[in-house]
Amino acid sequence: MSTHIGTSPAAVAASVNVPIHRQPVNVTVTGAGGQIGYALLFRIAAGALLGPTTPVRLTLLEIPQGLKAAEGTALELEDCAFDLLRGVTVTDDPAVAFAGVNIALLVGSRPRGPGMERADLLEANGRIFGPQGAAINAGAAEDVRVLVVGNPANTNALIAAAHAPDVPSERFTAMTRLDHNRAVGQLANHLDVNVGAIHGLTVWGNHSASQYPDVFHATAEGRAVRDLVDEQWLAQTFIPRVAQRGSEIIAVRGGSSVASAANAAIDHVADWVTGRGSEWTSAGVVSDGSYDVPPGLVCSFPVRSVDGQWRIVTGLERNEFSRSRIAASVAELVEERDAVRALGLLPLGRR
């Protein structure tokens, strides 16, 4: 089932107050009737994802039970009269949702509740990402970029990529930008500096409690962070606080993060598409074997966007502490990969 709310090009041109000269970019959001979908879609339509001169065409994918909520969101999008929005399609058919898609935000999946780990969602949510990967393979635009937000994000991205053999695997990414932003926020708070003064921080590994937020190459106002913080604070306060922040949010607000997750998804895609010069950030990308991470795993690395492609920042020294933390998180990714393989969620012969 699909519905379409269109905006005539003439009507759009009449309301435009910035020079808009590009073709619309097709952006698909899955789980569009859910919480993150609601926090994400209006910002995309307002230009936060691709900038103030790039029009977008939105497609909202839901399961049948979620269609009404997505349709309501589509009506509200229309009521915002966004200059950049060139139409909204709501559908429960992945083939329709991913036909011609340039940017796919795979959010739709169950969130965890109190007392659960994200890996507890492996089987139920993992089953969503194979068919979606296959639909992307069948119909997406040549330049498609995919961000997996639904948990467990790294392994879901691995599953989706494995079902899309014709799409270069580096186009499949998993969101660890929320962890990165959390780490920047905690560090800036602790050092009493602006978040913009922090550079060179990395979140390594899995978007899970095993992740390793690493400050050993970071600077704050140009000074080495390792000289500004003590090891006890790092090991006993900073790392666990960042790694457990998702659980903290669930405990405090009674549900998993929403607006900060949507914001991180926008940061990830905006940086990926537009680049950030020499600045580095963190993203779950397919390992090329760098830093002893087995090739093919979707692992969070230090990355820079160069010419619209994530590049792993290479050559960083890691002390014993960092090595063991990274290895522990990578070991968990290997376990998750083996678990979904055993469940038949990875096609034989690929990854």
Residues with active-site annotation: 207
Q: Is 118 in the site for ligand LMR (CB under 6 A)?
A: yes
Q: Is 49 in the site for ligand LMR (CB under 6 A)?
A: no
Binding mask 227-266 for ligand LMR (x = CB under 6 A): -------------------x--x------xx---------
From candidates 12, 61, 147, 297, binder to ligand NAD by CB under 6 A:
61
From candidates 109, 155, 263, 329, binder to ligand NAD by CB under 6 A:
109
Distances (CA, A) of 45 to 190, 202, 221: 35, 30, 34
CB 133 within 8 A of CB 153: no
The DSSP line for 101-158 is: -SEEEE--SPPP-TT--GGGGHHHHHHHHHHHHHHHHHH--TT-EEEE-SSSHHHHHH
Choices 148-156, 220-228, 268-276, 320-328; region in contact with ligand NAD by CB under 6 A: 148-156
In the complex, the smallest distance separating the C-beta of residue 79 from ligand LMR, rounded to whole angstroms, is 30
Nearest in space to 285 (alpha carbons), one of 270, 305, 315: 305
Nearer to ligand LMR, 150 or 302 (CB): 150
Nearer to ligand LMR, 180 or 217 (CB): 180
Q: How far apart, in whole angstroms, are the C-alpha atoms of residue 104 and residue 102?
A: 7
Nearer to ligand NAD, 84 or 105 (CB): 105
In the complex, the smallest distance separating the C-beta of residue 12 from ligand LMR, rounded to whole angstroms, is 36
Question: Which partner from the list ligand LMR, ligand NAD, none does 36 bind, CB cut-off 5 to 8 Å by kind?
Answer: ligand NAD
**Residue owning tokens 């073709």:** 23
Q: What is the DSSP letter of 205?
A: B
Distances (CA, A) of 316 to 201, 212, 228, 276, 278: 12, 15, 20, 19, 15
In the complex, the smallest distance separating the C-beta of residue 182 from ligand LMR, rounded to whole angstroms, is 8
